[in-house]
Chain A
Amino acid sequence: MGSSTVPQALRFPSARRRTPFLIAAAAGLLLVGTLGMAWGAVSIPPFTVARIIGANLGGSGVADWPAAWETILFQIRLPRVILGGLVGLTLAVAGAVYQALFRNPLAEPYLIGVSSGASFGATLAIVLVWRFGVGGWNGVSLAAFVGALLATAAVYGLARVGGRTPITTLILAGVALNAILSAATVFLMYMMRDAFQAMHVLGWLMGSLALADWEKVRVVFLYVLGGLVVIGGYAHTLNVLQLDEEQAQSLGVAVERTKGILIVAVSLATAAAVSVSGVVGFVGLIVPHIVRLLWGPDHRFLLPMSGLIGAATLILADSAARTVFAPRELPLGVVTAVVGAPFFLYLLRRQKREVF
């Protein structure tokens, strides 16, 4: 029996079909970022936004725009757009990783304690700040970050039995700890005498980028970059893990070690994102599903595409949140859910193939 050769169609299936989509998504992200900087109380034409940034990157051109525009762009809108992009990128990639790692379509970045830990930490800090008057928003960020990491570590530790961390135990331990911490957060809010303080907590819980600045961008960027580099190296391993763990192990994957490394990477990046944005729901859950619906389950494509779409989604949502009812700002989580969920349902109905 003569062995025939591999058909050309199978040779570069993914690369050929998918790379154009990644390029298009990256271009789309740039466009969305430009629009996000154009919209606001002071409206700047998008093309002028591009020209101002081009000029500041060392390009030439006549500065025929008000000097105030540059201040608005570089001190207020650019850090906010970049922070939104980083948060959206992190949440979407983290959601894709957890859905793969837990082999569960309901998995999202907050599944094993990040959001409830962050919420409790932030709430506690807000209470203490009012009591003792130390620090400011940065204190809240730090408390949220630490709370998120402690909660995740507690869930992982509780679920670990005899050198193994079974997925089901991990998810259930997460559900239990989320319940406890959410109850504690609500209790703290309930005990607050000061309505303004309670509003502060509520605003944080529903997500907001109103306090974005370059300092926050700098802090988040390091964690996100570190997390993404690690996660990227495991893209193929995540494909293998879509089989059950025993098959993955028999294909040479060190399952427990992989699980541990990925949970640490995702938790650090997500905790950093949540600490500056509060709890923004929906993006981490739905964006990976949208990508999976449209392009299939290969994580070497799913991860970067989810990241790009997640970033663009969050920038758009934040732009809407601060402009639609200006000067009031809508909670970010409300916008992502109200706009994103119907779109996802539409895709779900239209698509014939199995989702997960």
Chain B
Amino acid sequence: MTLPLEVENLTFGYNGRPVLQGVSFRLMPGEVLGLIGPNGAGKSTLIRLAAGLLRPLEGMVRLFGRAPQDWPPRALARQAALVPQGAYIPPTFTVWESALLGRTPYLGFLGVPRERDRQATWRALERVGIAHLADRFIGQLSGGERQRVVLARALAQEPRCLLLDEPTTHLDIHHQVAILSLIRRMALEDGIGVLIVLHDLNLASTFADRLALLVDGRLIALGDPRDVLRSDRLLAIYGSGITVFPRPDDGGRPVVLPRYWDEAVCLTE
């Protein structure tokens, strides 16, 4: 069986400065794998490598058994969808037009959408709760609504692997919970493999099946949130301004709370 995503001994750098070193993990069908780590740890670079936007220096990335560069572009876009951080959509596009772009890898010559494409797009808009905005212009939306348009576009691609880079940063807590619950349910029901970068450790702890902790380009922990988000480990990485509690209501999944830290300085590398 081919897995949605396999990463083996992955190494990457920009101009000789290493960004990722020897990263290995596998993403299973139906699994939500949360990618966490401090700023500059290499999370977005890892997502971009997985999507085939960058080529590894060493090691390999396999999407459903093949390196992304070995897939024909359209076929790859039917397998894997990417939600990049801060994705730009021109303000003059409508929500409907923007989401319909997710059907690009299915359209024939001249790009005329069929009924099937419209239905998949509409369903994606409904799922992320913005179908009522379909004829609005992107320029008229809030940051959170815009973020959901990009997610709807990715869902309209009907992928078997979702690569999400901070898809909920601009959302209020209701929509964060709603979107991440939707993603988790889709993963489980449709067997989609989801690799998701989350800055918020509590969201990661709550919605991911497993977590991968990336620090300075190295994968230093991989597994159940209870094991990865250990107090001593997080204090060493993020400093003493946090407290980690096991949640009483969710099987002891950890929550991370900030606290006042009188010796705080911004860490430099």
Choose from A243, A246, A296 the contact partner of B92 (Cβ within 8 Å).
A296
* Interface presence of B93 (CB below 8 A): yes
**Interface contact B101-A240, CB-CB below 8 Å:** yes
Known pairs A249-B73, A250-B82, A250-B84; A298 contacts B101 (CB<8 A): no
Known pairs A236-B104, A252-B78, A254-B73; A9 contacts B110 (CB<8 A): no
Residues of B contacting A4 in the complex (Cβ-Cβ under 8 angstroms)? 122, 126, 131
Pairs across A and B, CB under 8 Å, 19 listed: A5-B122, A6-B118, A9-B135, A10-B96, A235-B110, A239-B101, A243-B87, A243-B90, A244-B88, A247-B82, A249-B52, A250-B53, A251-B101, A251-B157, A252-B104, A297-B92, A298-B97, A353-B92, A355-B92
* Interface presence of B107 (CB below 8 A): yes
* Interface presence of A233 (CB below 8 A): yes
* Interface presence of B139 (CB below 8 A): yes
Q: Mark A6-36, 1 if CB is under 8 A from B, else 0.
A: 1101110100000000000000000000000
User: Chain A contact residues (Cβ within 8 angstroms of B): what range?
Assistant: 35 or more
**Interface contact B88-A247, CB-CB below 8 Å:** yes
* Interface presence of A137 (CB below 8 A): no
A290-312 with Cβ < 8 A to chain B = 292, 296-298, 300
* Interface presence of B134 (CB below 8 A): yes
State the total of A-B contacts with C-beta under 8 angstroms: 99
**Interface contact A6-B122, CB-CB below 8 Å:** yes
Residues of B contacting A254 in the complex (Cβ-Cβ under 8 angstroms)? 73
User: Chain B contact residues (Cβ within 8 angstroms of A): what range?
Assistant: 35 or more
**Interface contact A3-B126, CB-CB below 8 Å:** yes
**Interface contact A6-B101, CB-CB below 8 Å:** no
* Interface presence of B91 (CB below 8 A): yes
**Interface contact A252-B76, CB-CB below 8 Å:** yes
A265–chain B nearest beta-carbon distance, Å: 16
The 5 closest A-B pairs by CB, nearest first: A236-B111, A252-B77, A252-B105, A250-B82, A252-B74
A261-288 with Cβ < 8 A to chain B = none
Residues of A contacting B121 in the complex (Cβ-Cβ under 8 angstroms)? 6
Known pairs A236-B104, A249-B53; A297 contacts B134 (CB<8 A): no
Closest to A238 in B: B111
**Interface contact A240-B104, CB-CB below 8 Å:** yes
Closest to B108 in A: A236
Closest to A242 in B: B90
Closest to A15 in B: B112
Residues of A contacting B111 in the complex (Cβ-Cβ under 8 angstroms)? 235-237, 239, 300
Q: Mark B51-64, 1 if CB is under 8 A from A, else 0.
A: 11100000000000
Q: Mark B68-79, 1 if CB is under 8 A from A, else 0.
A: 000001111110
Known pairs A10-B122, A235-B110; A251 contacts B105 (CB<8 A): yes
**Interface contact B73-A252, CB-CB below 8 Å:** yes
Residues of B contacting A353 in the complex (Cβ-Cβ under 8 angstroms)? 92, 137
